[in-house]
Structure 1
Amino acid sequence: MAYPPLTDSAFDVAFWMLDRALDDNEYLNPRKLHRLLYLAQAYFAVANAGHKLMPATFVADPDGPVEPTLFRAFAYSRPRVDLQTIPERGTQLLDSIWRRFGAHSTDHLTKALKRHPPYADAFAEGPRAEIELDAMVAFYGRKQTATQGIGALTDSGAPHIEQVLRPRVMRSQSGKPVNVHQWRPRSLKEN
């Protein structure tokens, strides 16, 4: 059974990222935008049992993962589109992706992502082959060993979802701030 994506459009997510970069007085170039969108889609699917953050398909472009519809729409300038508000669980994930990966250079993100199996396997099929969401979930959702660079985006690995998602801060019954994460049951493979 396929579930609908959290957002109505990939434009909602792209504009959120662009606006967040502007809020931080940074320029977000198109290549880096696509790398961050790719990571957002992957980590959202890991955190939400394979559900998509946005109705988007990423392809293995020779330059790295790209969402072709957004690529064309942003070719000359920022397009005029009606945007919808992203639900809180989406903005929480996007904020976590921005904080975790936004400081990386475009080249670092591109080099690392091109060596990750979801991209590499799709590119081996041919340029512009679709990067399967299941492959993204399998790779970005796995636990890492110390040799894979725990917590780092490296050529051979990526941080586990628990190292990417920032916890929400809520108040306990006594008013004390506590960190909370979305509950994710362990899969049978982890037992």
Structure 2
Amino acid sequence: MTRAPLTDSAFDAAFWLLDRALEDNEYLNPRKLHRLLYLAQAYFAVSQSGRALMPATFVADPDGPLEPTLFRAFAYSRPRVDVQPIDEAGTQLLDSIWRRFGAHSTDHLTKTVKRHPPYADAFRAGPRAVITVEAMVAFYGRPRRRPEEGIGILTDSGAPAIDQVLRPRVMRSQSGKPVNVHQWRPRSLKDKG
């Protein structure tokens, strides 16, 4: 059974990232926006057992992963679109993506993500082939064999594990002390062996 995406539209996540960049006095160019949205879709699906963040189809464009509908809508300027607020799980993920990957250059994000299997396999199938959410989850959600694999930045062979990307929520204990909490994600039977 396929679960509905968290947001009503990919515009909701795109505008959230654009507004966040403006808050930080940064210009978020279209290429970088698409790379961040792609990573957001991938890591949200990993954290939510395959559920998509947004109803979006990413394709393996020669320039890197992109969402064609957003690409056309933003071709000349920021489109006038009514966006809906995103619930806490989505904003926590988008904030984590921005904090983890937003400082990387567009070229670094593009070169690195193009070498990752979800994009590379789709591109080998043909330019503008669909990058499936399942392929994203298989790569970005795979268990790390060595502790150093994928830590810190995106590399050609790996990506940070979800617990290194998703910032923990800060809540208060019964005594009022701040504590970090993560969503519980049980390991699959495949991971245990």
Into which bin does the TM-score normalised by the smaller protein fall?
over 0.9
Q: Counterpart of 1:122? A: 122
Q: Counterpart of 2:155? A: 154
Q: Counterpart of 1:165? A: 166
Shift of 1:142: 1.2
Q: Counterpart of 1:30? A: 30
Give per-residue Cα distances to partners, 1:106-141, cap 9 Å, x unaligned: 000000000000000000001000001101000000
Q: Percent identity?
A: 82
Q: Counterpart of 2:95? A: 95
Give per-residue Cα distances to partners, 1:63-118, cap 9 Å, x unaligned: 00000000000000000011100001100000000000000000000000000000
The separation in 2 between residues aligned to 1:77 and 1:65, in whole angstroms, is 20
Query: Counterpart of 1:78 in 2: which secondary structure?
Result: coil
Give TM-score scaled by structure 2 length.
Answer: 0.97
The separation in 2 between residues aligned to 1:80 and 1:152, in whole angstroms, is 34
Shift of 1:151: 3.0
Query: Counterpart of 1:148 in 2: which secondary structure?
Result: coil
Structure 1: where are the runs of 5+ without partners? none
Question: How many pairs does the alignment contain?
Answer: 191
Matched to 1:164, the amino acid is V
The separation in 2 between residues aligned to 1:135 and 1:9, in whole angstroms, is 21
The separation in 1 between residues aligned to 2:185 and 2:59, in whole angstroms, is 28
Shift of 1:185: 1.0
The separation in 1 between residues aligned to 2:151 and 2:97, in whole angstroms, is 16
The verdict on how the C-alpha distance between 1:8 and 1:148 changes in structure 2, with shifts beyond 3 A counting, is same
Q: Counterpart of 2:71? A: 71
Give TM-score scaled by structure 1 length.
Answer: 0.98
Query: Counterpart of 2:130 in 1: which secondary structure?
Result: coil
Q: Counterpart of 2:180? A: 179
The verdict on how the C-alpha distance between 1:86 and 1:63 changes in structure 2, with shifts beyond 3 A counting, is same
Shift of 1:190: 1.4
Query: Counterpart of 1:169 in 2: which secondary structure?
Result: strand
Shift of 1:147: 6.4
The verdict on how the C-alpha distance between 1:146 and 1:176 changes in structure 2, with shifts beyond 3 A counting, is closer
Query: Is the 8 Å Cα contact of residues 151 and 160 (structure 1) preserved in structure 2?
Result: no
